[in-house]
Structure 1
Amino acid sequence: MVLRSLILLAGLALTACSVPTDTPLPTRAVVAETTLPPIKRFTSTAGFAPTRSNADMARDFLDLSFQLESGRALPRLTKFEGPITVRIEGRATQTMQQDLTALLSRLRREARLDISQVTSGDANITIHAVTRRNIRRALPNAACFVVPNVTDLVDYRSARSSNRTDWSALQNRERIAIFLSYDTSPQDIRDCLHEELAQALGPLNDLFRLHDSVFNDDNFHSVLTGFDMLMLRAYYDPVIKNGMTRAEASARIRGVLARLNPSGERRASNPLPTTPNTWKSLITTALGAPGSNQRLNAANRAVAFAQSQGWRDHRLAFSHYALARQLRADDLDQAKLHFEQAARLYAGVAKGGPQESHMLIQLAAYDISDGNPDKALVRLNAAKAAANRAQNAAQLASVLMLQSEALAMTGRTQDARRTRLDSLGWARYGFGPDWAVQARLREIAALNPQNERL
């Protein structure tokens, strides 16, 4: 899942309204670092149950389990046999340990896995907490990654071209390494734990057609969903055996899902078409830094391609989002149109999800910049609920900071102050160091046209 650093909560500040971080701003937009409150964290709750049919999710299970992200087919399903142990090695932060404890609890409760953490000795899954610099040296575009049969980064660099690290050569899973950075925001660490531990345990593929899963390279979902937990529970069901071929698993997975998710048997099948490599390649190119002609061209072509396929789902929405990101640098009005189109599409296929929330945040920033605080507050109320549901602290902090500006614009000064202070604990979890929190505050304060007169 190497696209995380390219798209997650990309630039809220609109280019025409942004200011350098050293530009003086009104006193109320700045909070002294010594007054920042403690980090806030979400309580661990169960993911919402999947709402699609078992027939469609059986296909998802097979495509996730028998193919790599590269498109290469896997000859067999591999998984751990017996109790699974997890250990952290390196510099574990306090929030990393807290979030791992919460995740393992969810895996035991929702996916019914026999999984636990150990503090010494060998473990089936070792989480290596290293620096971002070391991660980038190993895989330049990755925020974190998972690999079989290695002990550390030195071992990985020497073995990465051999069969030892080839997932398709595995017969079963015995020793898996996860590499993630400790010197990043707590939310980034948590998100990597969820994504990479899920792939260490089960499916190795990502599918753009999934709107309700972390197994999707759009990276809007950052914690394991109800669908993801169902996939892991099915993966470790006794009926699904280590070493099974796709044909063997195909003959059994419908029965497993019927037993684990009986409500899915009553839902009508509505399968989405497979995502062509042409569109995936265009999206990968389009998700670079805004302003490049090559990336803008790719984003335009991604929208045209999605429309030519007759799509009306979240993949067309994501195409409009990618195009809006590129247009922000030179054409704010056109960018807004594509954010609005993405928001409408997401509302139709993923109502109340983190995708729609992200679009509402972008549009609320436009509203504030245009002097429409009441319109912004309507959008932000919906975005706040979605950010809470998705346990996305970065989104939630941004919502609250924008709400604070909108409230201030309507003269509700006390409400604005309380909301801004409420945002800070979430911002410390979502954005990390104090300077990053302060930078986001300044970016959002700069959207408010009233600040120019103060």
Structure 2
Amino acid sequence: MTCLFRRIRFVLPTCLAGVLLAGCAPNPEIATVTVPRAAQHVSPAARALLPDPNPPYTPASYQSRSLAAYYGHMQDKLLASGKLRQDTGQGVAITADQLTKDFIDIAMKDEYMRGGSGTMHRSMDSVLRRWEKPIRVFTVFGATVPPTERERANALVASYVNRLARVTGHDIQMTTRENANYYVMFMGEDDRMPFGETLKAAIPEIDPATMNVFKHTPRNQLCVALTFREQNGSPVMGKALAMIRSEHPQILRLSCLHEEMAQALGLPNDSPTARPSIFNDDEEFALLTTHDELLLRILYDRRLKPGMTQEQALPIVRQIAGELVGR
């Protein structure tokens, strides 16, 4: 029996927003949810109520260990089928026309919208969204994440943050909990429920429905990212949270990290024609590619402005793409 490995982007109302195991469990998803509420300032007193971001280690439960075996088998299947490439795709030719199309498809469209009934339907074209203020990243760990894995994850996040800052030219740095507006959370199955109860102290914008995305994550949902607007109705992003499952083996974990952090910068969607790219349902590439770096460079080019429509942005995007890869 053959099942497809795919991603689905969830966008809440009014907001910006592979190969499976034998037996065909529900298709894996990497959900990016843009919450239709403005980011709020969090007082030092509220931050003091947060749980320890680096708690004492607690061994994982049988359920968590079983999930780790499941994801390990999933990664093996994907690798055996030629998926999850870890190169940058430098051998694949990229034209200005293709890069322009990919940018519009990935940065300026909402693939899916969750309606009030929970049904999924196609959404309309959207506008350009990105961060304007500095991004400050902080890592948070669940108790079941082993200390050695925490050290490795911190190093991976810091390295990737430096890369994203270099590529975009935007001010992106690691920081302390007190100054963070982007939380990267490594959580096991045993960690999310207790942590979720106090997460609202750091991110009061989270409503119950959105909290459930974090607390009750089904196993086919590989990772989750939540992004929040700077103000109600604004195309400028003000806060983000990414949850990476600690049960993932190394490549799946790094793939989730690369995609979720890049998407939360303003590239929320997939395109079936984007190649070489992590923003493609075919799962060919696991890590940010040269093509994806070009998309980020376009997104943070100062000639583009948040809120631009496709009609406004298209000639500028076409010009920038031509400068980056030639006519």
Normalising TM by the smaller chain, what interval? Answer: 0.5 to 0.7
Query: Corresponding residue for 2:226?
Result: 147
After superposition, the Cα gap between the structure-2 partners of 1:197 and 1:53, relative to the gap in structure 1 and judged at 3 Å, is same
The answer as to 2:110 corresponding to 1:48 is no
Q: How many residues align?
A: 217
Are the aligned partners of 2:126 and 2:309 in contact in 1 as well (CA < 8 Å)?
yes
The structure 1 residue matched to 2:164, chosen from 107, 121, 131, is 107
The structure 1 residue matched to 2:99, chosen from 44, 57, 72, is 57
Query: Corresponding residue for 2:128?
Result: 77
Amino acid across the alignment from 1:56 = Q
Are the aligned partners of 2:104 and 2:310 in contact in 1 as well (CA < 8 Å)?
yes
Counterpart mapping for 1:136-175 below 5 A: 137-149=216-228, 170-175=234-239
Are the aligned partners of 1:46 and 1:226 in contact in 2 as well (CA < 8 Å)?
yes
Are the aligned partners of 2:87 and 2:285 in contact in 1 as well (CA < 8 Å)?
no
The answer as to 2:263 corresponding to 1:212 is no
Counterpart mapping for 1:179-198 below 5 A: 179-198=243-262
Counterpart mapping for 1:302-451 below 5 A: none
Runs of 5+ unmatched residues, structure 2: 1-6, 9-27, 30-70, 113-121, 193-213
The answer as to 2:309 corresponding to 1:245 is yes
Once residues 140 and 58 of structure 1 are traced to their aligned partners in structure 2, the CA distance between those partners, rounded to angstroms, is 35
More helix by share: 1
Query: Corresponding residue for 2:68?
Result: none
Cα distance, 1:99 vs structure 2:
1.3
Once residues 79 and 275 of structure 2 are traced to their aligned partners in structure 1, the CA distance between those partners, rounded to angstroms, is 23
Are the aligned partners of 1:66 and 1:73 in contact in 2 as well (CA < 8 Å)?
no
Which of the pair has the greater relative contact order for Cα pairs under 8 Å at 6+ separation? 2
The answer as to 2:196 corresponding to 1:131 is no
Once residues 86 and 236 of structure 1 are traced to their aligned partners in structure 2, the CA distance between those partners, rounded to angstroms, is 18
Once residues 222 and 78 of structure 1 are traced to their aligned partners in structure 2, the CA distance between those partners, rounded to angstroms, is 24
More strand by share: 2
* SS of equivalent to 1:73: coil
Amino acid across the alignment from 1:106 = R
After superposition, the Cα gap between the structure-2 partners of 1:13 and 1:209, relative to the gap in structure 1 and judged at 3 Å, is closer
Are the aligned partners of 2:185 and 2:241 in contact in 1 as well (CA < 8 Å)?
yes
Cα distance, 1:100 vs structure 2:
1.1
The structure 1 residue matched to 2:326, chosen from 264, 277, 283, is 264
Cα distance, 1:180 vs structure 2:
1.2
Query: Corresponding residue for 2:36?
Result: none
The answer as to 2:295 corresponding to 1:234 is no
Once residues 208 and 83 of structure 1 are traced to their aligned partners in structure 2, the CA distance between those partners, rounded to angstroms, is 32
After superposition, the Cα gap between the structure-2 partners of 1:45 and 1:218, relative to the gap in structure 1 and judged at 3 Å, is closer
The answer as to 2:318 corresponding to 1:254 is yes
Runs of 5+ unmatched residues, structure 1: 15-43, 150-163, 266-454
Query: Corresponding residue for 2:138?
Result: 87
Task: Give me the TM-score of the superposition, normalised by structure 2.
Answer: 0.59
Q: Identity of counterpart residues, as a percentage? A: 25
Are the aligned partners of 2:137 and 2:172 in contact in 1 as well (CA < 8 Å)?
yes
Are the aligned partners of 1:214 and 1:228 in contact in 2 as well (CA < 8 Å)?
yes
Once residues 145 and 106 of structure 1 are traced to their aligned partners in structure 2, the CA distance between those partners, rounded to angstroms, is 21
Once residues 174 and 322 of structure 2 are traced to their aligned partners in structure 1, the CA distance between those partners, rounded to angstroms, is 31
Once residues 12 and 61 of structure 1 are traced to their aligned partners in structure 2, the CA distance between those partners, rounded to angstroms, is 28
Amino acid across the alignment from 1:137 = H
Query: Corresponding residue for 2:77?
Result: 10
The answer as to 2:119 corresponding to 1:119 is no
After superposition, the Cα gap between the structure-2 partners of 1:220 and 1:9, relative to the gap in structure 1 and judged at 3 Å, is farther
After superposition, the Cα gap between the structure-2 partners of 1:56 and 1:132, relative to the gap in structure 1 and judged at 3 Å, is same
Q: Give per-residue Cα distances to partners, 1:54-74, cap 9 Å, x unaligned.
A: 012111111111212324234
Amino acid across the alignment from 1:59 = K
Once residues 74 and 122 of structure 1 are traced to their aligned partners in structure 2, the CA distance between those partners, rounded to angstroms, is 34
Amino acid across the alignment from 1:10 = K
Query: Corresponding residue for 1:67?
Result: 109
Once residues 102 and 275 of structure 2 are traced to their aligned partners in structure 1, the CA distance between those partners, rounded to angstroms, is 12
Query: Corresponding residue for 1:403?
Result: none
